[in-house]
Copies of this chain bind each other. A is one copy, B any other.
Amino acid sequence: MDIKTMIDRVAAAVQAVREANPLVGSVTNGVTMEFVANAQLAAGGSAAMVYLPDEAEYLVEASGAFYVNMGTLMPVYEETIPAATRKAAALGRPWVLDPVGIGIGSLRGRLLADMAACPPSIIRGNASEILALAALWGLSDEQGCVRGVDATDEVAAARMAAVELARWTCGAVAVSGEEDLVTDGHTVATCRGGSPLMEKVTGFGCSLGGVMAVHAASADPFTAALASVLLYNLAGSRAAVAAQAPASFKAAFLDELYRADAMDVSGNHFSLQEV
C-alpha cells in the first residue's frame, strides 16, 4: 500500500459522505449519544439511534453501516446487540464496535465475547480497551488495564493486539491516543494531531466511532477508519487554535468537522508501515 493511493482513497471517502449523506443507525452510549449524532451530521451523514431489538434490525437493513457502542448498557441490550450484529452479518453490512467499558459487568463481557463469532468491520478503542478485547477473544495474553473508561496503556503497547484483531476480523482496528494507530492487519497507519482537550470532554472517542460508521457506508473499513481519524485530528488541531477550554473547544471542533473538506483531511499528516 503506497501513501499516495491511501491519500486518494481517504479523499474519496470523505467526499462520498458529503455527497451521499448516508444513514447510519446506532445502538450507543446514553452519555454521549447527542455528540455522536451531531458529529455524524457534521461529517455529512444522517443519524438514528435505537434501544429495541427489532428497531436495531430495521436500522441495520436501512443504513449504509451500523454503530455499536458498549457504554451504558440497558437490560434490553441483551437482545438488541446480538440482533443487530446477526443482522449485519446476514446482510454483509459493515459495522463499527466501540468496546467502551470492557471489563465492567457480566452482560458487557458476554456480549463482547459472543461478537468473536460475527466480528465487526471496524473496532475503535483506546489502548487498554484494544488489549482487553484481544485478550477476551484469545488473540493475546496481555490483558491491558482499563480504569473506568480511560486507558492506562500507551498506544504502542496495543500495536500487536490491534494487528491480531484486524487479521482475525478481516477488518480494521483503530487505537486512539496521543498518536493514533489504524491497521488492517497488514499495514499500520500512524497519525498525529488533535488536542489534549479532547480528553477533557466526554464523547470524543464515542463520536469518532460513529463517524467511522458514516465513512464505512461507502469505503472499505481501513480507509473509513483512517479517514475518520484524520478528520478528527484535523478538526481537533484547528479547534485548538480557536479555543483553549473544553466547552468552547467542543463547539469549535464540531464546527471544524463540518467545514473540513476532502483535500484538507487527506492532506493531514500520516505515515504507513507494513507489519
Which residue of chain B has its CB nearest to the CB of A253?
B247
Determine if A54 and B105 form an interchain contact, defined as CB atoms under 8 angstroms apart.
Answer: yes
- Residue numbers in B under 8 Å from A52 (CB-CB): 73-75, 105, 107
Other A-B pairs beyond A38-B246, A41-B200, A42-B247, 10, CB < 8 Å = A38-B202, A41-B246, A52-B107, A54-B106, A55-B105, A55-B108, A63-B148, A247-B250, A247-B255, A248-B252
Bound CA–CA A47/B147 (angstroms): 10
A275 within 8 A of B: no
Chain B minimum-CB-distance residue to A28: B31
A35-57: which residues lie under 8 A (CB-CB) from chain B?
35, 37-38, 41-42, 46-52, 54-55
A-B contact pairs, 20 of them (CB 8 A): A30-B33, A31-B33, A31-B34, A31-B47, A34-B34, A37-B202, A46-B149, A48-B104, A48-B149, A49-B72, A51-B72, A51-B73, A54-B105, A55-B104, A55-B108, A58-B104, A59-B104, A245-B258, A245-B259, A247-B250
**For chain A, which range describes its interface: under 10, 10 to 19, 20 to 34, or 35 or more residues?**
35 or more
Interface residues of A (CB under 8 A from B): 23, 25, 30-35, 37-38, 41-42, 46-52, 54-55, 58-59, 62-63, 71-76, 101, 104-108, 147-150, 199-203, 245-248, 250-256, 258-259
The 10 closest A-B pairs by CB, nearest first: A245-B255, A247-B254, A55-B105, A48-B148, A247-B251, A37-B202, A23-B148, A54-B105, A245-B258, A31-B33
Cα distance A59–B59 when bound, in Å?
A: 32
